[in-house]
Amino acid sequence: MAGSPRRAAGRRLLLPLLCLLVQVATAILFAVFVRYNHETDAALWHWGNHSNADNEFYFRYPSFQDVHAMVFVGFGFLMAFLQRYGFSSVGFTFLLAALALQWSTLVQGFLHSFHDGHIHVGVDSMINADFCAGAVLISFGAVLGKTGPAQLLLMALLEVALFGINEFVLLSLLGVRDAGGSMTIHTFGAYFGLVLSRVLYRPQLEKSKHRQGSIYHSDLFAMIGTTFLWIFWPSFNSAPTTLGDGQHRTALNTYYSLSASTLSTFALSALVGGDGRLDMVHIQNAALAGGVVVGTSSEMMLTPFGALAAGFLAGTVSTLGYKFFTPVLESKFKVQDTCGVHNLHGMPGVLGALLGVLVAGLATHEAYGDGLQSVFPLVAEGQRSATSQALYQLFGLFVTLTFASVGGSLGGLLLRLPFLDGPPDSQCYEDQMYWEVPQEQDDEAQGPLRAEELVTQA
């Protein structure tokens, strides 16, 4: 029993100290290095002869709004399916995304927009920071309910840095095309989180098994997240693409792919479900796989038929993964994937990367015309053949898997440090570990936790 006051005091201090330390350090770095770019700075913008309507803000901000809603509302509520972990799912999403936005602005800024001794930021910086936050939240889904906020903050700090490096290697050094992030966001975030979960494996997690499921209203909240993500995913994939036909084509391909993955999800869920009934877990997640699978190829000449075929395949693979592969991951590979990120982001992300390899290899001047310059500039300039570009795309996938695996391993070792106050096996998936919970739950719901606390403290 004596350990309880010490643990409570540690919990009281650890999160505030980490938050304040990170915020102060970030603020100092912003003060030294971060400046407005030429489209944001008052003097620089008005020095040139520009029309305000030409400012990049008016072209990019609508997409940014959609991506922002996906990160904070879509991801947060999608993970609110656990019956007694809703505060943590939405609240920790809020915390991690707010940290990732600042830290990724610095990391990506040093790698992509650092010149004259400063990082120059604008609306593109906000979009790219949101993408990085998305990768962090995907990893969060793999360890949802099994980690404390201090552990998650350190995970985010490490992952944002590795995300930025991996993205720089792929996009800037290798010349890989990955506008919607099948590789840089989904594959990286999923396998970083899965390896992290493997290192943090809990053999006694059965003690919290009774909290791991959902109830009627928690599944309904998760479906709100699904709806937000589904509606805004065309903006997510098209936000960083070239204005004009490229952005238009990306949104269109994503739109069709999502619709096809939804139909295949409903079909497969009924087919493999008991008595032909639908499983809400499949609908909440696998219906979104169409957005993931065309992340790399959506700006390419995938064709509407190709988008439908890719989406249907992704929905099928994702649904079957939730039904059959998730139990195998835990029983055979000791990977406890709370949200099933392997099925929604991992496998569809890899499929999306391979689809990008195929479509890049088929690129021709006849198919793209003058638009080849915006989609495959190195091919258009004669520095690469379409086949070479396809091989670079494939190599980019292996680089991403390597960064994710190494990063997840390092992150797991870091998060195992005892002072980080992770929840005991008997108290996982429980909001009362870290939140003041309104006294609306009945005594029967709260009783098991009190009993488990006494056992843990003894």
Q: How is 95-125 classified by DSSP, letter by letter?
A: HHHHHHHHHHHHHHHHHHSEETTEEEE-HHH
Identify the pLDDT of residue 318.
98
Coil, strand, or helix at residue 321? helix
Handedness of CA 232, 236, 239, 244 (dihedral sign): negative
Query: Greatest CA separation found in the chain?
Result: 75
Tokens, residue 113? 């927009």
CA 290, CA 415: separation in Å to the nearest integer?
33
> Got the DSSP string for 123-162?
HHHHHHHHHHHHHHHHHHHHTTTSS-HHHHHHHHHHHHHH
Q: Are 397 and 182 in contact (CB under 8 A)?
A: no
Tokens, residue 212? 């791991």
Rounded to 5°, the CA angle 344-93-83 comes to 75
CA 441, CA 330: separation in Å to the nearest integer?
31
Coil, strand, or helix at residue 80? coil
Q: Are 125 and 109 in contact (CB under 8 A)?
A: yes
Number of Cβ within a 10 Å radius of residue 24: 10
The one-letter code for the residue type at 180 is G
Tokens, residue 379? 């091919």
Place of tokens 């350990």: 3
Q: Are 344 and 293 in contact (CB under 8 A)?
A: no
Q: Are 270 and 277 in contact (CB under 8 A)?
A: yes
Q: Are 257 and 314 in contact (CB under 8 A)?
A: yes
- Taking 50 as the pLDDT cut, the residues of the chain under it are 1-3, 442-447, 451, 453-458
Compute φ and ψ for 277, nearest 5 degrees.
Answer: -90, 150
180-205 burial, b if ≥16 CB within 10 A, otherwise e?
A: bbbbbbbbbbbbbbbbbbbbbebeeb
The C-alpha torsion from 124 through 129 and 131 to 133, rounded to 10°, is: -160
Identify the pLDDT of residue 53.
84
Q: Are 159 and 135 in contact (CB under 8 A)?
A: yes
CA 136, CA 76: separation in Å to the nearest integer?
12
Identify the pLDDT of residue 165.
98
CA 240, CA 238: separation in Å to the nearest integer?
6
> Got the DSSP string for 388-453?
HHHHHHHHHHHHHHHHHHHHHHHHHHHHT-GGG-PPPGGGTT-GGGTS---TTS-HHHHHHHHHHH
CA 104, CA 132: separation in Å to the nearest integer?
7
Q: Are 29 and 106 in contact (CB under 8 A)?
A: yes
Rounded to 5°, the CA angle 381-387-389 comes to 55
CA 35, CA 12: separation in Å to the nearest integer?
35
Nearest to residue 237, comparing CAs of 223, 222, 257? 257
Polymer length in residues for the chain: 458
- Strand-strand pairing, 118-121 and 34-36: parallel
Identify the pLDDT of residue 7.
65
Strand partners, 35: 120
Strand partners, 36: 121
Q: Are 431 and 437 in contact (CB under 8 A)?
A: yes
Identify the pLDDT of residue 356.
98
Number of Cβ within a 10 Å radius of residue 179: 26
Identify the pLDDT of residue 44.
87
Tally helices (H) and strands (E) across the chain: 21, 3
